[in-house]
Amino acid sequence: MAWITSVGAAVVVCAGLVQAAEKPTPEHINAMKAFNAANGKLRPLLAAETKDYAAIGAVAAEWKAPAELIAKFWGGRNAEVGTKMSADVLKAVNDLAAAAKANDAAAVAAAGAVVSASCRTCHTAHRTGPLADGTYEIK
């Protein structure tokens, strides 16, 4: 009978793990897709020797709304990493806009480094997947 007890315990543990992951809202997924698109544009702009400040400013502008959405979502949660990272990204996106406007290479680099580094930290703490269907979940 011992095996029945352990199977039962294993089922309970698995159920607990499944419940811990949460399906993201379409808004969260779209914001992440926007983060990905903006980051993809920003990387070569940051690497370029001669900075295209107008283009950097445009990336910062398109990043603002999704960054606000993610900061609002995670700001309302008791999640140490997600709450801090999402607030840091929103601040960095605003800093990036200001730095681009001021043609300030050092400030552009500093803000760009914060946004680019945020992805992995937050995903390690709060993203699971990809699932079989290619989607991700929140943990």
CA angle 63, 38, 90 (to 5 degrees): 35
CB of residue 56 to ligand HEC, shortest distance in Å: 15
Helices 105-126 and 53-75: crossing angle in degrees, nearest 10, is: 30
| DSSP states of 66-78 | HHHHHHHHHHTS-
- Please give the Cα distance from 6 to 12 (Å, whole number): 10
E strand or H helix at 58: helix 53-75
CA distances from 133 to 7, 87, 96 (A): 28, 30, 35
CB of residue 33 to ligand HEC, shortest distance in Å: 6
Instruction: Restricting to residues 10-29, name those near ligand HEC by CB under 6 A.
Output: 24, 28-29
| Region from 48-56, 81-89, 94-102, 106-114 binding ligand HEC, contact rule CB under 6 A | 81-89
Q: How big is the site for ligand HEC, counted in residues (CB under 6 A)?
A: 24
Instruction: Restricting to residues 27-66, name those near ligand HEC by CB under 6 A.
Output: 28-29, 32-33, 35-36, 39
Q: Is 82 in the site for ligand HEC (CB under 6 A)?
A: yes
C-beta closer to ligand HEC: residue 48 or 131: 131
Residues lying near ligand HEC in the complex (CB under 6 A) are found at 24, 28-29, 32-33, 35-36, 39, 70, 74, 82, 85-86, 89, 115, 118-119, 122-123, 126-127, 135-136, 138
